[in-house]
Amino acid sequence: MRLKTKTDYCIRVLIYLQSNTGKARIQEIADSYNISKNHLSVAVNKLAELGYIHTTQGPKGGIEFSQEAKDRTLAELISQIEDFEIVECFDLESNTCTLNPNCKLKGMLSKATSAFLGELKNYKIKDLV
């Protein structure tokens, strides 16, 4: 299984913000990881939308970790960002696979995804640092 770049960047932002006190700027985080500010901005917007970080605009603005998010699980975060429709048949609306319902792969992948998320339920956002 491969996580999207956006998910990776979201996790990096949460690690950075928990490791550094006070507000940070997106450019500062992008520079520290040597990644695109524009791509990182997409991740920051998603984290703000989901309540993992607080954003403040203006000259004294920046982003900071939301302490309320520290006890949320990695499984919750990743589930909110990732699309776990690994194969076509996971999406009932667009499924055109002729193997369905006799295909056993769907069940195997579903169990694997559940096991992946099940393991990540054991880790909280605060455990990243």
Is residue 91 predicted with pLDDT exceeding 80? no
pLDDT band at 101 (very low <50, low <70, confident <90, very high): low
pLDDT band at 104 (very low <50, low <70, confident <90, very high): confident
CA 112 to chain centre: 18
**Residue 129 in 3-state DSSP?**
coil
Is residue 88 predicted with pLDDT exceeding 70? no
Degrees (nearest 5) of the Cα angle 46, 58, 60? 105
Residue whose C-alpha is closest to residue 48's, from 71, 18, 82, 14: 14
Is residue 99 predicted with pLDDT exceeding 90? no
Q: What is the mean pLDDT of the chain?
A: 90
The pTM is what?
A: 0.86
Complete domains list, the chain, with CATH: 5-128 (1.10.10.10)
The one-letter code for the residue type at 7 is T
